Structure 1
């Protein structure tokens, strides 16, 4: 296989699919196709390789890395996803476009912050949403400290049943106020011990059912350190998708617990460079 490029029409389709022009050489395209024995496709031209790759992408056999700015866009109602992050900027790269899109679509938005301050979240969102104050004033956008929702005055994580009820009530209120639904995100960085994490996992299980049956969506953000306390299979069960940063943001299919456990092990060790198979 050579470095010959596909025809211009196929190259345009590759760009639309998310493959940059710098990676259109036939050998680079072939490297994206799984389970191909060396030499098996050597007789195919660059156009045939491009067509095969585009077909596999359309069928979901091949998935592409998602840029952070696009990873959480266009989620359907009922989505409940998980984001593992290392820095505040990691969160902002995904959540600012997520909330911007929700405001543009007349959705109620709730951002529960922990290691981000309310002001940091507000400032970052305002940079992309110039009329943010208007959305805040009418209650379409809420940016709140986690303690207003997740914990009681002593700092203890509230009962899972109470948290689930509170979240469902937010969704009902959004619809009553004339919004299309509720788009939310909450940070789990405040959870510092296994007992509290266990309570939070119970809440995740309950709220997952509520989200699936309503016009709501939620992104739960976990610092990589939390992976040591989380139950891998619980997270997979409760979240349709899991996003992990490995150089750039990658959308991980979370259907196979055995595959993603390797990533959890890397997270617990402070590394997010491991790849799913």
Structure 2
């Protein structure tokens, strides 16, 4: 089992810690924080957990007697939307120390180690990238110090090759110099307070890892440049083909019906290639953290309605009725219009593909005060329960059969989730087989200072028509 975990880990070792002092770190990173107060450790632990939840990690917070589940949820609510939903789906577990470290009122390092390994296995089995944990040691009494230090040293060595990252919290008011030295020795990074500022102490072994990290970042940069150049090389002949197709479409008297059909097939498959190339390049840029956000203030209600209206012709091909509904006339939020457009187009494309002829699709926008929900609901084939947890993973498809009716690369929803995360949002699915699916995207209701709002009409004229052709290239129109 451990061998399987190690192989899983090789795919994506670098993780966003959510901690500004650290940035990205390898799986197997063991972080310590010496805190002065609860506000002190919440200011580090909450953004750290936010990064894990948004990046498909199973998150476990083992809290001590200095806080409670309700208080942790209250703090997390300030950093991420819909904490209760993460708890409900099982991605977030908040558990007291006596259910983890002090079972039967006794600390057993072997048992605790096995418990961590069990959850690492569970994380990969459920389709998560790995396990992220917060472990508060406020419960620790002097009688356990030596045993716990030995346990920490063992954990530090065990987790190196596992998809596991952990933040250990220590109350500096309870520590002496020897314990302070033990914490630094047993952690990759230790965050301390110095003159009202947070500072980072690196373990000597981490200096070697930093060199590996720099090499990995350089590799990501080279990989992105390679894919960008490859994209250009692939798009050049595709543009020539599409240009030729457009010239053939302009002919007033095509030779015969077969020629019209062949031209249509040629155009459709060329656009499908363009979509695949665009998605692969964007995923590569996101992985390498070279994907830029261009935020503008826009009326999300009108924007989503306009996007929906622009794809009605594609729905008519299958006699599908698309309805737009909203409980608010206008809501201006800060977001990247291109991102929102691609998110909604992808969800609409999937809904049309997986909804039978004569079906219905409901696109709705709901004001939830501090967030706005954009929902795309259909009465199509639905998603099997065993696939729903992994539906946003790359190359995951609803229909995996060799004779599937719907073409696709399996990267569309993965890209959508990445784009939503970039906008500080959240996406989840509700579905029942044969009853349909509903994808709900949550955007935070924030605005930015700027001189003018985004002009929706200009955006639609210049972008959406061509992008819709590419996104809906699997649907004849």
Same fold (TM over 0.5): yes
Q: Kindly indicate whether residue 96 of structure 2 is the aligned counterpart of residue 96 of structure 1.
A: no
What is the Cα deviation at residue 73 of structure 1? 4.2
Aligned to 1:220, what secondary structure does the other structure show? strand
Name the residue aligned to 1:179: 128
What is the Cα deviation at residue 238 of structure 1? 1.6
| Residue correspondence of structure 1 range 1-277 to structure 2 within 5 A | 70-71=20-21, 73-114=23-64, 115-154=66-105, 156=106, 158-193=107-142, 195-228=143-176, 231-246=179-194, 247-255=196-204
* Consecutive unaligned residues in structure 1, runs of 5 or more: 1-67, 257-277
Aligned to 1:78, what secondary structure does the other structure show? coil
What is the Cα deviation at residue 192 of structure 1? 2.1
Q: In the alignment, is the contact (CA less than 8 A) between 2:113 and 2:155 conserved in 1?
A: yes
Name the residue aligned to 1:44: none
Which fold has the larger relative contact order, with Cα–Cα distance below 8 Å and residues 6 or more apart in sequence? Answer: 1
What is the Cα deviation at residue 254 of structure 1? 3.4
Aligned to 2:43, what secondary structure does the other structure show? helix
Distance 1:89 1:128, change over 3 A: same
Aligned to 1:167, what secondary structure does the other structure show? helix
Paired with 1:230 and 1:116, the residues of 2 have a C-alpha distance of: 26
Q: In the alignment, is the contact (CA less than 8 A) between 1:161 and 1:206 conserved in 2?
A: no
Which deviates further from its counterpart, 216-225 or 196-205?
196-205
Paired with 1:74 and 1:185, the residues of 2 have a C-alpha distance of: 17
Q: In the alignment, is the contact (CA less than 8 A) between 1:73 and 1:101 conserved in 2?
A: no
Cα RMSD (Å): 1.9
Greater fraction strand: 2
What is the Cα deviation at residue 111 of structure 1? 0.8
| Per-residue Cα deviation, 1:47-84 (whole angstroms, up to 9, x for no partner) | xxxxxxxxxxxxxxxxxxxxx95235433211001100
Name the residue aligned to 2:433: none
What is the Cα deviation at residue 184 of structure 1? 0.5
Paired with 1:239 and 1:140, the residues of 2 have a C-alpha distance of: 25
Paired with 1:219 and 1:77, the residues of 2 have a C-alpha distance of: 12
Aligned to 2:204, what secondary structure does the other structure show? coil
Q: In the alignment, is the contact (CA less than 8 A) between 1:181 and 1:215 conserved in 2?
A: yes
Distance 1:72 1:93, change over 3 A: farther
Paired with 1:95 and 1:73, the residues of 2 have a C-alpha distance of: 14
What is the Cα deviation at residue 250 of structure 1? 1.2
Paired with 1:113 and 1:72, the residues of 2 have a C-alpha distance of: 23
TM superposition score normalised by structure 1: 0.63
Q: In the alignment, is the contact (CA less than 8 A) between 2:184 and 2:201 conserved in 1?
A: no
User: Which ranges of 4 or more aligned residues in structure 1 deviate by more than 4 Å?
Assistant: none
What is the Cα deviation at residue 251 of structure 1? 1.1
TM superposition score normalised by structure 2: 0.37
